[in-house]
Structure 1
Amino acid sequence: MNPSPPPAARRPATTLLIAAFGTLLVLIDYTSPLTTLSPTAADLGLGSSAQTWVLTGTLVGLAALLLTMGSAADDYGRKRVFGAGAVLLLVSTALSAAAPGPAVFLAGRVLQGCAAAAILAPTLGLIGHVYPPGPGRVRALGMWGASVGLGIAAGPIYAALLERAGGWRTVYWVLSVLSLLLVALTALGLEESRNDRPRRIDLLGVLTLAAGASCLIAGLAEGRHGWGRTPVLLLLGLGVVLLLLFVLAEARVAEPMLDLALFRSPGFVASSSGALFTGLAIVGLMSYLPMALQKALGESPLTASLVLAIWSGLSVVSALQARRLAGRVPATTQVAGSLLLCGIGEAALFGMRPDGSWVHFAPGLVLAGIGSGVLNAALARLAVSSVPADRAAMGSGANNTARYLGSALGVAVTLAVAGQATSDRGPRYALAAGTDRAVLVAAALCGVGAAVALWARIAESRGTAPAPPTPQPAGPPADGGAVDGSPSAAVSRG
């Protein structure tokens, strides 16, 4: 008789469902304030700076802890870290729902970012553990990528509808109930997986990365109200210094949280830079677009959310279909091509007019949506395949850290560029002109990201980059290896 498979391998579809559901909740939670910020601010008395922190607070928790949570998940249990994140999401959303004032509400938002980090970091490791390399894993990672787009599409619409029905607090109470469901599903449906030889905690790396990312994002958030102010310059300077110290620490420690040798792998470079430019050029602009539609065109929050759903909804569809490209087009080429397509779509958004219609944005959002879906699926594949098999969650954490640091920077750049425009015809025309500038900058940044991914593809095809060292765990790796047959994928097979 054949030996029975390990428990985790018996129900890979359950693992995928839970991982995708957790990702969906995280993205819904993050994007909900796009349509509920005004009533929330009015009820709690949030000033302009506090309103900035409604979104930024979540990014602080995400960027500060994603890589740390990925490393902890690989070494101490992916289910354990994912489940802790689900519990914290339950507590933090209930805290925001019941908040009596701004301080408690914003504390809840920061904790939601910490919870999101613990949920997102292990997801690709959980999926990679139960799906061996091949078409099944490609399809599973495409479905996970679709959950990212679905969360972005559903979040603003979900929030707008619930705010209409029961007020902004209802948005967070319902999220609390859904988080409780996630806790139950995690306890009953996930099997534990971890490395056979856990690494020691890289305490210096944890502290410098968390503090550096927090200071940098805080500086970017406060900079929207004046870049030359002393607190802004101190936060930005301290953030850069601490992140440099993180790099130095990782280069010297025996068991680093992030092995810098991985950057010699073209696949890892494409994964990290692709995630960075996704946040910088795509998430940053799309986070700004609903506000521009409301203030420049006079659209309602619900209409603005539905317009954004053209982009995010199509990203779901294209992510699900991206598996058809596997085996035909290398993942690095997909990253380059999809970033270029997103750039073309964003450039097509140019030409906002206060007397115009949202229909003008539809063609560009269609192109950007198709590109974003392929991009999300390709980045998920590279995040797993471009790192050693026993560091899958670390690869996921590194990928998501780059994405959300890029998102924080992208929102700051978009607002700074858009805010410089003026018009003697009034604020709506100034906002329209600023939006035009922002879409051109975002399109150019997509082009830069595509160029980096193209370089990685050329280096990959020529085999000019040396493979990073593959650790030798005491037992078999937690993950079956690479997703595809690209040279960077071979790195994870050792």
Structure 2
Amino acid sequence: MTQTAPAPVATNDGPRAGARAWWALIVLMLPVLLVSVDNTVLSFALPEIALALHPSGAEQLWIIDAYPLVLAGLLVTMGTLGDRFGRRRMLLIGATGFAVVSALAAFAPTAGLLIAARVMLGFFGAMLMPSTLSLLRSIFQNRDQRRMAIAVWASAFSAGAALGPIVGGFLLEHFGWGSVFLIAVPVLIPLLIAAPLLVPESRDPAPGRVDPISIVLSMGAMIPVVYAIKSFAVDGPTIGALLWAMLGVVLGALFVRRQLRSQSPMLDMALFRLGTFSGAILVNLLSVVALVGFLYFVSQHLQLVIGLSPMVAGFALVPGMVVMIIAGLVVVPISRRVRPHIVVPAALVFSVLGYLLVAFASQDRSILTLVIAFVVLGIGIGAAETISNELILSSAPPAKAGAASAVSETAYELGAVLGTSVLGGIITALYRGALVTPDGVPVELAATARETLAGAYAAAHELTGPLAGQLWEAATSAFESGVAVTSLIGAGLVVTAGVVAAVTLRTPRSD
């Protein structure tokens, strides 16, 4: 069946929401804050988990990767099921399951059981995220209010990313590794109490049938691609990674073909014919890649090169996160008067400048330089994310808000994976190519040093005398040269996002 594109973005305002809607927004921020914190906090607990559970190298990777793999694979499915069975219902089921499994994960006696818990956290987490954003579409029908609500909602991501290292550092200094999972319980209990009272139920009034084949194909498309990207980052280009990627592409093509031929598709592919929808998705993806990639190498520089503790390094990132939140809020009144294809590229100019500041400050990557660079980067990312998320929701019919939100969240998760894997993989490859180990370093330690900057840090601490300092100086020099090149690539990604926004986000004024 040939699908026609939905109507363009509506410009008429709906009725304005009252105080209850803003209380509902606060409730919906809780799971967003939690998932954002969860994305960063676990990496700080991994050393203690390794000491307690003795996982193999492969098991350590799966402890980290199981959650985002399952989450990315199920977002579209859960968003569509929320449209059919009720978005608030999916939110409450997801919150209940996430809290229970988090408590079980905190006391997992083996690495295998912890991996299983992470799989289930991805399953229930996929219920949480599309539900929160799609519910905003039904709660805030007035577009100006919805813009502000989405800006506040998006600020929870930024706040969570900033709080992750701080909260993780504090918990690990005072409690065991299981505490990083237990934080989900006190966050989600208020949600389970308040959501039935404050958040109205919403669903698609004419849902299509549940299509198990489409569900399997959507998972089969996402999981192999995400796994291939991660495999490429760890092991470089291999036949295995290529085969996984090809499998994901083939299954993705079959998914699209099935949706186009279905009279009631799980995901309305006609949405992607709207420039505002597909353009906003791509801006979202590229912005997140740039943000996560920046955080990847800046966090290493702050902790390994400058020597800050994880908690203090987290505090150094707070100004940038605060500015990102402020930019997302300030852009709301601006977007009423300036069209998206102008305001988004203009905002992203700041993000380009942030990357360029890092790229050309090769002799002075001090704490202050990195803080300023992140602040400037955050201005553009905060504004672009607010506008793109609002356009994604406004472009889709209200009945399909869950599916549209799921596509947005999938772009976010894929962007996070690409930011770490691609930009992280590039800087690692550049580091390995530039590192020249001093004469006299044992072969085993030299091999360790070539793997990562953290490996060089550990190898230098096993050496004594001037040789340790020479190895560490060579490693930091190689890392810094990689940062310069990677920053230029990151700036190029942001420029691409700005061009996409200028070309595709041409919508009529909403005032």
User: Same fold judged by TM-score > 0.5?
Assistant: yes
Q: 2:87 is matched with which residue: 57, 78, 89?
A: 78
Determine if contact 1:35/1:159 at 8 Å carries over to the other structure.
yes
- The normalised TM-score by structure 2 is 0.83
Determine if contact 2:82/2:89 at 8 Å carries over to the other structure.
yes
Mark the CA change 1:340 to 1:112 in structure 2 (over 3 Å): closer, same or farther: farther
Correspondence 1:427 to 2:472: no
Counterpart mapping for 1:15-26 below 5 A: 15-26=24-35
Three-state SS of the structure 1 residue aligned to 2:418 is helix
Gaps of 5+ in 1: 1-5, 462-483, 487-494
Letter of the structure 2 residue corresponding to residue 108 of structure 1: A
Determine if contact 1:52/1:221 at 8 Å carries over to the other structure.
no
Quote the residue 1:450 is aligned against. Answer: 498
Determine if contact 2:359/2:487 at 8 Å carries over to the other structure.
yes
Determine if contact 2:280/2:505 at 8 Å carries over to the other structure.
no
Quote the residue 1:468 is aligned against. Answer: none
Q: 2:422 is matched with which residue: 410, 413, 420?
A: 413
Determine if contact 1:352/1:432 at 8 Å carries over to the other structure.
no
Letter of the structure 2 residue corresponding to residue 279 of structure 1: V
After superposing the two structures, state which structure 1 stretch, 312-321 or 52-61, moved more.
52-61
Letter of the structure 2 residue corresponding to residue 444 of structure 1: G
Counterpart mapping for 1:387-402 below 5 A: 387-402=396-411
Counterpart mapping for 1:300-449 below 5 A: 300-350=309-359, 357-421=366-430, 422-424=434-436, 425-449=473-497
Determine if contact 2:234/2:425 at 8 Å carries over to the other structure.
no
Mark the CA change 1:141 to 1:34 in structure 2 (over 3 Å): closer, same or farther: same
Determine if contact 1:92/1:111 at 8 Å carries over to the other structure.
yes
Quote the residue 1:215 is aligned against. Answer: 224
How many residues are paired up? 457
Determine if contact 2:106/2:181 at 8 Å carries over to the other structure.
yes
Q: 1:123 is matched with which residue: 128, 132, 140?
A: 132
Mark the CA change 1:14 to 1:444 in structure 2 (over 3 Å): closer, same or farther: same
Determine if contact 2:358/2:365 at 8 Å carries over to the other structure.
no
Letter of the structure 1 residue corresponding to residue 492 of structure 2: A
Shift of 1:402: 1.3
Quote the residue 1:165 is aligned against. Answer: 174
Quote the residue 1:151 is aligned against. Answer: 160
Gaps of 5+ in 2: 1-14, 437-472
Three-state SS of the structure 2 residue aligned to 1:350 is helix
Distance 2:337 2:283 in 1: 20
Shift of 1:23: 0.9
Shift of 1:216: 1.2
Distance 2:338 2:187 in 1: 38
CA RMSD of aligned residues (A): 2.4
- The normalised TM-score by structure 1 is 0.86
Distance 1:427 1:390 in 2: 54
Shift of 1:389: 2.1
* Residue-by-residue CA offset, 1:358-402 (whole Å, 9 max, x unaligned): 222122111111112212211221121111121112211111111
Q: Identity of aligned pairs, percent?
A: 27
Determine if contact 2:362/2:484 at 8 Å carries over to the other structure.
no
* Residue-by-residue CA offset, 1:299-318 (whole Å, 9 max, x unaligned): 21112212222322221222
Determine if contact 1:34/1:287 at 8 Å carries over to the other structure.
no
Q: 2:105 is matched with which residue: 81, 96, 99?
A: 96
Shift of 1:485: 2.0
Higher gyration radius (CA): 2
Three-state SS of the structure 1 residue aligned to 2:98 is helix
Determine if contact 1:208/1:245 at 8 Å carries over to the other structure.
yes
Correspondence 1:485 to 2:494: no
Three-state SS of the structure 2 residue aligned to 1:349 is helix
Determine if contact 2:30/2:188 at 8 Å carries over to the other structure.
no
Correspondence 1:257 to 2:266: yes
Shift of 1:330: 2.2
Letter of the structure 2 residue corresponding to residue 423 of structure 1: L
Distance 1:212 1:361 in 2: 37
Mark the CA change 1:224 to 1:305 in structure 2 (over 3 Å): closer, same or farther: same
Letter of the structure 2 residue corresponding to residue 116 of structure 1: G
Distance 1:453 1:161 in 2: 40
Shift of 1:442: 1.4
Determine if contact 2:79/2:403 at 8 Å carries over to the other structure.
yes
Quote the residue 2:20 is aligned against. Answer: 11
Quote the residue 2:78 is aligned against. Answer: 69
Quote the residue 2:118 is aligned against. Answer: 109
Shift of 1:29: 1.3
Distance 2:232 2:55 in 1: 18
Quote the residue 1:491 is aligned against. Answer: none
* Residue-by-residue CA offset, 1:332-379 (whole Å, 9 max, x unaligned): 433333333222212222257698532221221111111122122112
Letter of the structure 1 residue corresponding to residue 146 of structure 2: R
Distance 1:444 1:348 in 2: 14
Determine if contact 2:87/2:201 at 8 Å carries over to the other structure.
yes
Letter of the structure 1 residue corresponding to residue 484 of structure 2: D
Distance 2:400 2:164 in 1: 31
Mark the CA change 1:293 to 1:40 in structure 2 (over 3 Å): closer, same or farther: farther
Determine if contact 1:296/1:354 at 8 Å carries over to the other structure.
no
Mark the CA change 1:243 to 1:292 in structure 2 (over 3 Å): closer, same or farther: farther
Shift of 1:429: 2.4
After superposing the two structures, state which structure 1 stretch, 299-308 or 178-187, moved more.
178-187
Quote the residue 2:151 is aligned against. Answer: 142
Shift of 1:196: 1.7
Letter of the structure 2 residue corresponding to residue 250 of structure 1: Q
Letter of the structure 2 residue corresponding to residue 485 of structure 1: S
